[in-house]
């Protein structure tokens, strides 16, 4: 009240200089004042502004409450009509920061999928996401899931129920109404259970293996071996899932992760994907013509026996030099197959071999490679990358340096 009074007196004091010399004719006029007479700072217009602003805020709030959505979704709509993020995905504010990276679109034979909206650089962080919900990594009973579903906000619920499922855990002949507005609590549970099973990712929380649903990441389809271009992982130190680009990706390419260990021949991959996710993989590697597919199978099937051979070094049945030779063969295999996912870990293991045999030069070369690839897969600032960088910077203080017989084991041939 006091404020508006002082405004009024201030405005009133201005009036004389604006008042035309013949006030009687003007004051009776109902028409709009001429432009040069219009002054927003007059007492009348100020009081209108002060009335209109709260009214607009109230109207906006009333409209927002009707929207069944989140404030960021509304803001995103208002300020960025080209935003690539659907309202249903906006249960986590950080999603707004990755909205220019990919579009979620319908893809023939796959449901939805993510398509790069621009060129993406190797090592770029593409998704950073908190779990929408978590459940223990075991069968999910109705008594556990129902209260979790009841606790979801409307945006979270929308995000969850927009996801895909492969099969529902129904009793014989049981029909399930899929309309979330009219379904019974049991039908809602069955649908949610199917969605969680099809989309959840294994994470470690409080030392326990847990399943988490991450709706943004859940749109990523599967590709085998060289076909997938992203690496995902749970970052325990920040309690969030991160997805990084393993390779340079062109605008328009589909973004793919690997749901299974795809270092195996086609038949095994197809069977595993069918059992766990209910689809027959049609990725570029699974769609190779027969001759090329045979060649690809032959190469991919070499990874496991080669790594088994390398691991004999831990038991002392092969020398450090032999172990490093095998690791270099594995590295060549990653080049031949385009399977680059585990390079960071493999280089780290080779660095350890070189370290304990006191071959500091080779250890440093392997550690540099390990830092590079761990940063691509898990980020430059991840605990894994930082630990490797620390080992590289402080190799001379490594507690196991030269703890086995001294040997020149050899560095990476890349």
Nearer to ligand SAM among residue 11 and residue 159 (C-beta): 159
How big is the chain by its Cα radius of gyration, in Å? 31
Structure tokens at 149: 């579903």
Q: What's the helix, strand, coil split of the chain in %, to 5?
A: 50, 10, 40
Min dist CB 119 to ligand SAM, Å, is 23
Phi-psi region of 225 (alpha: psi -120 to 50; beta: other; left: phi over 0): left
Nearer to ligand SAM among residue 279 and residue 373 (C-beta): 279
Q: Which residues bind ligand SAM (CB under 6 A)?
A: 109-113, 163-164, 166, 198-199, 218-219, 221-222, 277-279, 281-283
Min dist CB 342 to ligand SAM, Å, is 21
Rounded distance, CA 179 to CA 281, Å?
A: 29
Helix (H) or strand (E) holding 70: none
Nearer to ligand SAM among residue 245 and residue 256 (C-beta): 256
Q: Burial of 46 by CB count in 10 Å (0-12 exposed, 13-18 middle, 19+ buried)?
A: middle
Min dist CB 8 to ligand SAM, Å, is 60
Min dist CB 198 to ligand SAM, Å, is 5
Helix (H) or strand (E) holding 273: helix 266-277
Rounded distance, CA 77 to CA 401, Å?
A: 58
Nearer to ligand SAM among residue 256 and residue 323 (C-beta): 256
Q: Which residue is nearest to ligand SAM (CB)?
A: 111
Min dist CB 391 to ligand SAM, Å, is 36
Nearer to ligand SAM among residue 219 and residue 343 (C-beta): 219
Q: Residue 249 in 3-state DSSP? A: strand
Nearer to ligand SAM among residue 88 and residue 391 (C-beta): 88
Min dist CB 346 to ligand SAM, Å, is 26
């Amino acid at each position: 009240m006091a404020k508006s009074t002082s405004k009024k007196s201030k405005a009133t004091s201005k009036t004389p200089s604006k008042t035309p010399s013949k006030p009687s004719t003007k004051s009776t006029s109902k028409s709009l004042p001429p432009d040069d007479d219009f002054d927003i700072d007059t007492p009348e217009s100020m009081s209108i502004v002060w009335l209109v602003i709260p009214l607009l805020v109230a109207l906006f709030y009333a409209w927002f409450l009707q929207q069944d959505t989140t404030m960021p979704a509304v803001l995103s709509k208002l300020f960025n009509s080209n935003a690539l993020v659907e309202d249903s995905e906006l249960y986590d504010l950080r999603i707004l920061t990755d909205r220019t990276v990919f579009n979620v679109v319908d893809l023939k034979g796959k449901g939805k999928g993510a398509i790069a909206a621009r060129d993406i650089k190797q090592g770029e962080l593409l998704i950073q996401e908190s779990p929408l919900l978590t459940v223990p990594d075991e069968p999910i009973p109705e008594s556990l899931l129902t209260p979790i579903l009841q606790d979801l906000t409307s945006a979270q619920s929308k995000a969850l129920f927009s996801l895909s499922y492969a099969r529902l855990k129904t009793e014989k002949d049981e029909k399930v109404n899929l309309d979330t507005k009219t379904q019974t609590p049991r039908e809602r549970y069955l649908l949610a259970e199917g969605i969680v099973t099809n989309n959840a990712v294994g994470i470690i929380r409080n030392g326990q293996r847990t399943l988490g649903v991450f709706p943004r990441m859940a749109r990523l389809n599967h590709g085998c071996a060289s076909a997938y271009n992203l690496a995902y992982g749970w970052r325990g130190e920040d309690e969030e899932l991160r997805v990084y680009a393993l390779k340079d990706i062109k605008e328009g390419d589909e973004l793919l992760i690997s749901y299974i260990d795809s270092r195996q021949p086609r038949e095994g991959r197809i069977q595993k994907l069918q059992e766990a996710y209910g689809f027959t993989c049609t990725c570029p590697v699974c769609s190779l013509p027969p001759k090329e597919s045979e060649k690809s199978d032959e190469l991919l099937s070499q990874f496991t026996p080669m790594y088994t051979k390398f691991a004999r070094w831990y038991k002392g049945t092969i020398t450090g030099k032999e172990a490093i030779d095998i690791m270099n063969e594995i590295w060549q295999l990653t080049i031949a197959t385009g399977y680059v996912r585990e390079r960071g870990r493999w280089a780290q293991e080779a660095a350890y071999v070189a370290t304990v045999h006191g071959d500091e030069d080779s250890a440093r070369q392997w550690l540099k490679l390990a830092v590079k690839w761990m940063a691509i897969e898990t980020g430059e600032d991840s605990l894994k990358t930082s630990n490797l960088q620390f080992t590289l910077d402080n190799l001379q203080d490594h507690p196991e340096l030269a703890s086995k017989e001294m040997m020149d084991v050899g560095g990476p041939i890349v």
